[in-house]
Homo-oligomer: A and B are copies of this chain.
């Protein structure tokens, strides 16, 4: 900037003003400076600017990962979420600092905030780390989490409406004439627990019994679908449908069902969750519960910026939607 000032025969202050399009600077001087700057390919040093302005337009996006199961990068759902966040942040002129942290050491997630690198954090995935997240919020780290709303929650969440998602899926299967509906998912995870309660509600509403033997606890890893099917077969309980807590789970489950000689949806109807892009192109195309990814990115960013602005930002539940395709016909 000093160079430009010298070459333009003005002071650094004027250059700064010109570059920031201050109305205080003469039209003519301004264009001269701007041209000089662009011919020298000069751009303001954002670090210095941030320091001076005590501002910062970078948001930290954290993907917690489970070091034992690597339960994080298998699912295309995350990638879509990342994309949606990138779009929402870009749109509002923010940069995105991406980090992965061990889910057991979630405090580490706050480092970019503590060191002033970012002004707030978006966490993709709540898992079972409610307490650690509360801890961060108690420290006044501006944070928004993609996940379920829980009692005594100090942090803000944005998530799909899991209860109604679970209901939609289950009622759809019931409407399709299914009576013995298996549930695949780990209810220790808050989101899955809510989907399960939606499932229970739907059964109750239609006077169907809740058989605990029909619930199989599996992780979100791709092998989960296979495991779930094999487990329920081992239990030898009759079932004519399955509600899987992710599309990936549903797809791998369907593959195993087929391998075991079952027809989908003939013998077993299947509904997934998320509506990842591949679901449409799967064979047969997968019936699923759509999570509104675009809206999710917008909502997460909106909520975080509100918090940073110290405006109250309540937790949010985004509507989910049943997408009927062929696996439940």
- A residues within 8 Å of B by Cβ? 41, 43-48, 50-51, 56, 58, 61, 63, 72-74, 76, 78-80, 82-83, 86-87, 90, 95-100, 111-112, 114-117, 139, 222-223, 225-226, 248, 251-252, 254-256, 258-259, 277-278, 280-283
How many copies of this chain are found per oligomer?
2
CA distance A105 to B208 in the complex (A): 57
Given known contacts A56-B47, A96-B98, is B281 in contact with A252 (CB within 8 Å)?
yes
On whether the beta carbons of B97 and A95 are closer than 8 Å, the reply is yes
Distance from A74 Cβ to chain B, minimum over Cβ atoms (Å): 5
Other than the given A46-B116, A47-B51, A255-B281, 9 more pairs (CB < 8 A) read A47-B47, A48-B116, A73-B82, A76-B79, A87-B100, A223-B281, A248-B278, A251-B278, A251-B282
A99's partner among B41, B95, B99 (CB-CB below 8 A) is B95
A51 to B222, CA, bound (A): 45
Given the interface pairs A73-B80, A100-B83, A281-B255, the reply to whether A43 lies near B95 with Cβ below 8 Å is no
A258 touches B281 (CB 8 A): no
User: Given the complex of chains A and B, what is the CA–CA distance between A151 and B86 in angstroms?
Assistant: 33
Secondary structure at the A interface, as helix, strand, loop or mixed, is helix
Please name 24 pairs of A and B residues whose Cβ atoms are closer than 8 Å in the assembled complex, sorted by A. Answer: A41-B139, A43-B114, A44-B115, A46-B115, A46-B116, A47-B51, A47-B56, A58-B97, A61-B98, A63-B86, A73-B80, A73-B82, A76-B76, A79-B79, A83-B100, A86-B100, A95-B97, A95-B99, A98-B98, A222-B277, A222-B278, A223-B280, A251-B282, A256-B283
Which among A47, A58, A116 has the highest number of chain B CB atoms within 10 Å? A47
* Shortest CB distance A184–B (Å): 14
Note all chain B residues with C-beta closer than 8 A to A79: 73, 76, 78-79, 82
Say yes or no: A114 contacts B41, CB within 8 Å: yes
| Bound-complex Cα distance A76 to B112 (A) | 27
Expressed in whole angstroms, the minimum distance between the Cβ of A111 and any Cβ of chain B is 8
CB distance from A272 to the nearest CB of B (A): 14
- Pick the contact of A86: B50, B99, B139 (CB < 8 A): B99
Closest to A282 in B: B255
Closest Cβ–Cβ distance, residue A170 to chain B (whole Å): 25
Q: Is the CB of A47 within 8 A of B50?
A: yes
Report yes or no: B96 in contact with A99, Cβ–Cβ below 8 A: yes
* A282 to B232 CA separation, bound complex (whole angstroms): 20
Q: Kindly list chain B residues whose C-beta atoms are within 8 Å of the C-beta of A252.
A: 278, 281-282
Return A60 CB to nearest CB of chain B, in Å.
9
Contacting pair A43 B115 (CB below 8 A): yes
Smallest beta-carbon distance A85→chain B, Å: 9
On chain B, the residues within 8 Å of A100 by CB distance are 83, 86-87, 90
A270: min CB distance to chain B, Å = 13
A46-B225 contact, Cβ under 8 Å, with A98-B86, A255-B282: no
Contact A117 B46 (CB under 8 A): yes
- For the complex, give the distance between the alpha carbons of A41 and B124 in Å: 25
Closest B residue to A279 using CB positions: B222
